[in-house]
Amino acid sequence: MTRADSPVTPPVVLTVAGSDSGGGAGIQADLKTIEACGGFGTSAITSVTAQNTTGVQSQHLLPVGEIEAQIAAVVDDFDVAAVKTGMLAASEVVDLVVDHATDLPNLVVDPVMVATSGDRLLAPEAEDAYEALIAEAAVVTPNADEAAVLTGHEVDDPEAARRAGRDLVEMGADSALVKGGHVPGAAVVDTLVTGDGVTTFRHDRVDTEATHGSGCTLSSAIATRLAQGEALSAAVGNGIDLLASAVRYNVDVGDGPGAVHHLVETRDDAARGPTSEAVERAVSALVEADVSPLVPDRGLTVAGATPYAETPDAVAAVEGRIARTVDGVRPNRGVRFGASTTGARALLAAREHDPALRFVADCRLTGAVEAALDSLDGPVAAYDPDERPDGVADAAARWGVDRAFGASNDPLVAVVGREGVGIDGRALLFGATDDDLVSRVETVHAAVDAEA
């Protein structure tokens, strides 16, 4: 039997950049990110570097004619929808891209000058050549140090970033995204400047040095989103969200700081099915065990997060919870993502302290249940809802769990919230796997039964 083909037509994105033998940045990072974001990646390699997580050992600039031939080969055959530039290395390469700018739509210019390791990737005389390239850019994406070189002004706070962005737009760029990763502060503030105004994107800073490839990943994600027809602000915002996750869930490879996780969203999406199935397994096990003494009047929540979950819509739970009946316990409905608010927020708060945790059960709190928690295989902590600051809602889901984990020197397996024993109180049991969670719930259930 001969099967009919079923081709797909993703938008084509061209990256003009250097090669990173370490795989975390450059062409390698670009192609991984483009494909992960739904594009078809093509490339024109400008330089070959001998590079790893500890630094750049050497670099070799390809002949300009060979770089031009690569660009021509791509644009002559493919319907290129967006282009991003990375390491251009020398003024003649910058000039080459400028000469071809009319054939390079949605041009995203990442002015790569220095590697994350501190090694210089751009000849000093090439800095001036960037002005002409910036004038051709749909968006230019410098970090604070690069923005300072390009504009002549230090970028050390968000207001300085706005000024630098305006300067770059005045140089001819349609827009400028001045990245805030190198600007001190508890939050990273990225600043997008266009002729129409300023938009800021804020996210928590991740305590890591594993940012190799971050600029390449962000610019590639933005270019791919633009190629798909997204508006500039949406393309930038989605790219920043991807990078925030890619930095938090970085790849621990090599002897130096690791690389960002270019495929973090793809891997997380692929885990949704297995995560939902794991929650269903846990529910079936608890129904079979008839854990009625642990089911609150409001119902028992069982929830599971994808490996890189950041929001409640990446947490699967029983819709309507598990209820007590005269015949035992049963789920009210099926498992779906976004079904739980309280359970999801409790789990996400715990994951801020222990990202390995992926499952939670929101159990009834009685004196017997609290005593039974001593039988668990790890430490248990409690929070006092009366200490909750004014204006902080949903204590159990966010403030309470965060407070309990933050006050403990060891990873927790359960958190007690004494909003009211019996009706409003809760015992939150956590697990890295569905088996861990079921085992802990059954352990508590057995201890309660033994005392009954």
Domains, the chain, in order of start with CATH, read 12-261 (3.40.1190.20), 271-451 (3.40.225.10)
Task: Assign 37 a pLDDT band (cuts: 50, 70, 90).
Answer: very high
Instruction: Output the CA–CA distances (angstroms, integers) from residue 420 to 301, 363, 404, 444, in the order listed.
Output: 18, 13, 17, 19
Instruction: Output the CA–CA distances (angstroms, integers) from residue 121 to 7, 78, 84, 311, in the order listed.
Output: 39, 29, 17, 37
Question: What integer pLDDT is reported at residue 186 of this predicted model?
Answer: 84
Q: Between residues 113 and 404, which one has the greater pLDDT?
A: 404
**% of the chain with per-residue pLDDT over 70:** 94
Question: What integer pLDDT is reported at residue 115 of this predicted model?
Answer: 55
Question: What integer pLDDT is reported at residue 279 of this predicted model?
Answer: 97
Q: Between residues 278 and 320, which one has the greater pLDDT?
A: 278
Task: Assign 341 a pLDDT band (cuts: 50, 70, 90).
Answer: confident
Query: Per-residue pLDDT averaged across 140-161, rounded?
Result: 91
Chain-wide mean pLDDT for the chain? 92
What tokens were used for 392? 């902080």
Contact between 214 and 242 (Cβ < 8 Å): no
Question: What integer pLDDT is reported at residue 423 of this predicted model?
Answer: 55
Instruction: Output the CA–CA distances (angstroms, integers) from residue 367 to 378, 379, 429, 448, in the order listed.
Output: 19, 18, 16, 10
Does residue 235 carry a pLDDT above 90? yes
Q: Between residues 327 and 212, which one has the greater pLDDT?
A: 212
Task: Assign 270 a pLDDT band (cuts: 50, 70, 90).
Answer: very high
Query: Per-residue pLDDT averaged across 148-154, rounded?
Result: 89
Task: Assign 119 a pLDDT band (cuts: 50, 70, 90).
Answer: low
Query: Per-residue pLDDT averaged across 390-416, rounded?
Result: 84
Alpha carbon distance 64, 90 (integer Å): 10
Q: Which residues contact 419 (CB under 8 A, 6 or more apart)?
A: 385, 395, 396, 425, 426
Alpha carbon distance 112, 18 (integer Å): 10
Beta bridge partners of residue 431, listed in sequence order = 359
Query: Per-residue pLDDT averaged across 302-308, rounded?
Result: 97
Alpha carbon distance 403, 382 (integer Å): 9
Alpha carbon distance 135, 123 (integer Å): 20
Instruction: Output the CA–CA distances (angstroms, integers) from residue 155 to 125, 150, 162, 356, 437, in the order listed.
Output: 22, 11, 9, 36, 48
Contact between 32 and 224 (Cβ < 8 Å): no
pLDDT digits (tens, 9 = 90+) for 38-67: 999 999 999 999 999 888 899 999 999 999
Alpha carbon distance 148, 128 (integer Å): 13
What tokens were used for 68? 């031009």
